[in-house]
Structure formats: structure tokens, C-alpha cells
A and B are shown apart, each in its own frame.
Chain A
Amino acid sequence: MAEAKSDLTAAPNRFTSAVKSLRSEWLGLAVILLLALFPFLFGWFSGTSVQDGPSKFWQGQLITFFIMAVYAMSYDLLIGYTGILSFGHAAFFGGGAYAMGLFLTHIGPKIIGSYKITIGSADITEVLVLVAAIFLVVVVVTLLGLLFSVVSARIKGVYFAMISLAMAEAIHILSKATDFGKWTGADEGLHGVPVPLWLNPTQHRLLFYFVALAFCVIMYLIARRLVDSPTGRVFVALRENESRVRMIGYNPVTYRTLSFVIAAVIAGLAGGLFAIWNMGATPSMTSALTTINALIMTILGGIGTLIGPILGAGLMQIVGQFFYQWFGARWPLVFGLIFIALVLFLPYGVIGTYRLKRLEWKHGWQRLRELVAGKR
């Protein structure tokens, strides 16, 4: 260990810091590498093909995990970092999903049918439609986020929790209203959304797996950058003491709006990807249960951290799969009980508790080592 350090000090400063940051992030990098290699490793160990069978199934599970992780992370930006108790997050997720689904179902085919855009000989119409759909998702959820933040500028705390729930529920009701059944499919939702062929999640599962993984990693990096930036510090300050933030000279409304819009856009993009992954959008994506799921994932992993919600989503997705096998269709009951126990006894979640107790454990480990090996 000591030798490696002295080696590095000789290297140029910039390189050192890069390597240093790489070294401090080695665990994250290892996990990403492991996840990237997962389909191949799984195929290799189980002796099945990467393209189908159990490998394909577990790829699917992980894809859902990646998307839900981003969704839970965006929720934590709001509730954990900015301290806004919002129960309307499903509106962003579902709004993104519906925007993507509606565009691809009703407008996409028309464009593809009547126009052909090429660069040289390559036909890029489909790609452009997808880009336009993503753009539309961003616009729609930005508007939704602005709507919510306008309300949150006037109403605070628990009042806002109720109102955000009511607003999300209104959107949920509209998403399954029969009046728009022609477009949204009412109760049934949108099904069989014409996804570009090269991105079809059933035919090109492996590609989609990497798309989802890249999406998750990129969104994490963006969120991380945001949280570490001065703006992110103001978010945390808003959570801790709003009047002091105002006194220092920051406008709380601006920052709350910013936080809302960013969280909404990330959640909406997750929703859009989820719509492509499911090749559809259903009213359940806008329901209160979807918000509660985000909340459970966040609390489970650790509120006020970025890794926490990702871990929580992973636990819910992967452990939930096993729970489903053990307890049958009512596995959420077990999960809910664990959730309540966590709230009562482990309020900082898995990551939060780890960070709290890390030093304690480190000391304990050192003492143990000293006991075993004798004093150094």
C-alpha cells in the first residue's frame, strides 16, 4: 500500500488526482464492470446462451432495476436533498411514460410513413422520431414539474404532501378516464407501442440491457455532479433551514423550482425508458402506489444519499423476486412489514446506517486485528 502511494506522488498532479478519484471509486467502478459483464458471466456460469433462457430473464429483472433505480434516485433528490415532502412523483414517471408512449403510438408512425430523412444513404427517420419523443418527454415533465413547484412555492410541508398527492391522483384519474380512451386506452393503457426495431426489448434484450445500464450510470453521474455542485449545497441548505437560506441571499423559490424540475426530468426520462421497455404505458404507472414504491426504495436504501435509492431499488427488485417465489403473490406484505421495521429501527436505511456506523465498525475491526496480531 505505502509503496503504491509513493509511486503515484511522482506522477503529474492531474494524473494523481484522477487516479486518486478512481481509487476512491473503485467499488462503484467494480460494480458497474460487474453489471456490464453480468449477462456474459451469467451465461458462462449457467452454460446457457446470453440471448435467451434464464439469462434473458435476469437481464430483464436488472433492466427494471436500473430504470426504477433512476426513478427512486430522482425522488430522493426531492425528498432527501431538498427536503420537499412530495407524494406526486408518480405523475412525473407516468407523465414521461405516457408522453413517450403517446408520441410513439400516434405521431411516430405518421412521420415515419410520410417522411424519410437521410444522411447520405443512412435512414435516420426512426432515430429522429425517438429523439423527438425524448424531447417531448422532457418538455412535458418540465411543465409538470413547474406546475408542482408553483404550488409548492405557496404551500409548505405536510399541506404540500397532501396537495401533491391530490394533483398526482388527478393525473392518474385523467390517465384512466374513458374520455381519452381513443388515445390513452383508458383503463387498459397503451399496449404494443411501436418501438424502433433495433431497440425492441424482446428481440434485442442484450442491447437494451446496456442502454438501461448506461442510462442508470449517466443519470447517477449527473445527479452526483448536481448534488456536489454549489446548487446542490443550496438544496441541502433548504432542507436544513429555509429562512437562513433566504437570509444569505438565495431565493428559496428558485432553488425549489430547480430541484423540482430536475427531479421531474430525471423521473420522466426513467418513465419514458420504462414505456419503451414495457412497450406500453398503463395507468398504474401514474398511481399513488408508484410513488409509494419510490418512497420505499428510498427509505430502504437510505434517504439523503444517491447510492441508497439505487440499492433500495435493487433490493426491492431482486429480493422481491425471491420473495415472490417464497411467499406467493402477496409478497409486498412481507416487504411492507420490513419497511415499517426499518422506519422504526433503522431510519437511515442501509447506506445511511453504514455511513453512521462505519467508523465504529472500523475501530472494532482494528481492535480485533490488534488483538489477533498483537500491537503493531
Chain B
Amino acid sequence: MNDPTNQTPTVDRREFWRIVRSLAVACVLAATVLGIVFTRTEPSIRALTIEREQETVRRLLDLPDSARIDEIRRYAGHAVTGYLMPTTLRVHTEEGSLLRQIPVPQALQAAPAEERDRWVTEQLGDAELLGRFFIGRHPKGTVAGYVTEASQYGFKSLIRFFVALNPIFQIQGVEILAHEEDPGLGAEITRPWFRNQFIGRSVDDLATLAVVKGPMPADRPATVTADTPIYAVTGATISSRALTDGVKQAVAHLQYRVRLLGIADGGDNE
């Protein structure tokens, strides 16, 4: 090894193992620390996420803390769509007709979402979570409104948002959950003055709703009519259009699903 004429460098085996040991010990220690911290913090992180979501839904629908919020999860299986309701899993064909209903085991009804996802995968053979929506209920159980989660490509990346609707499908609020639009430009769509323009629009209004380049005129009436347009954020027409298109689609899809599941008629008043 000390021979200067030796052309190929030989590996010092002891050195090699020392390096391996040094790295391995560092990795094992780091993994142990992370594992301990993860198991300590994960339950409260998950509880907080659910709590925050429920709070947002209640606020959007203007419901008291005592109101019940049901989550409906939608899955794609083999040529079927699964809707996980609080107590039943409804399996529909892609055309919409009901194939079968499977009761959710008692133990799973309050289980974490991942466990319920796993159970649905077992029932359908293969399932992928496509989306979710929430039903807000008055203490008596009647429907107080809906909140649907949706996303749409903006100028930079996906804009994720909630749309809240009252029982007759008029928009009660739009809330941006996540986005990557430019601060000061596209990010202005998260401001109340912009997203509150959707409030009061009905399904029919949305069909003809137009986006015009801003700025919003000072004399815009407080109550919207069928032909009041959405005034885009100045310098961010693409982001404004994207959110408007996303809201239109989200409302149309929600209305279809609510009818399909018979929620509005009180048919599935679980």
C-alpha cells in the first residue's frame, strides 16, 4: 500500500468498515430519534387536522359547534365508484346506478381515515380516493348545507379549495386551502373581496357566470344578480378564471352526487 509504484489504489478494509459504521450509527440514531418524536406527535397532529377541517366547514356553513359534520369519501374501483358514508359504503356503476350497499363495521366508523380507506380497498378489490365532501347537519339531522373539496390548476400549480353551499345549492362561501400563486398577484384570489364574489350564486347563475378583467367598479351592488360577473384580480386573470372554472365544476359535481346518493330527499339521513 505504501509502494509508490503501485498504480491501483488499494482499499484499506478497516478504514472502509469504519466509514460504514460511522454512517450506519448516525442513520440508526437519527431514525430512532425521529421514530420516537413521530409516535409522540402523530396522534395530536392528526386530531388537529381533522378539527381544523371541521371548524372550517362549520364556519363556512355558519353552524354552531354542536352541529354534526358527515364526511363522504369517494373512491374509484374497477369500473365502479364507491361512496363511503358514515355507516354504509354505497357502490355505484360509473353510469350511476346503485350496485350494492355494504354496512360499515361499528369499529371502523370512528377509525382514522387511512384505516377506512384500507377497508374500502378490501371491499372493492382496488380503490383510489378521488375526493371528499361534507354534509353539515342541524342538531335534528336535517341538511344545513354542503362543503365540497376540489382543486383546479391555476397559474403555477394546483389551487385546492372548499366550496360551501346551502341546501338549495346557492354558494355560501369559497375558501382557498392551498395554492402556489404569486404573492401580490395570483395569491390575491385568497382575499375575501375576491372569493366573496361567489356568494349567493345559484347553479343556474354559474352556468352563465363570466369573468371580466378588473378592477371591480365602485358601484357594484352588494347583492349579486344572475348576470353580475366575477371581476378578476388585476394582473392575475388566469388565476381568477381558474378558480371560477373550478367552482363551477365543483358545484355541478356536488349536485350530481348529492342527488345520486339521495341525501337531499332525506333518503340517507344517517
A joins B in a complex: no
Chain B residues at the A interface, C-beta cutoff of 8 Å:
none
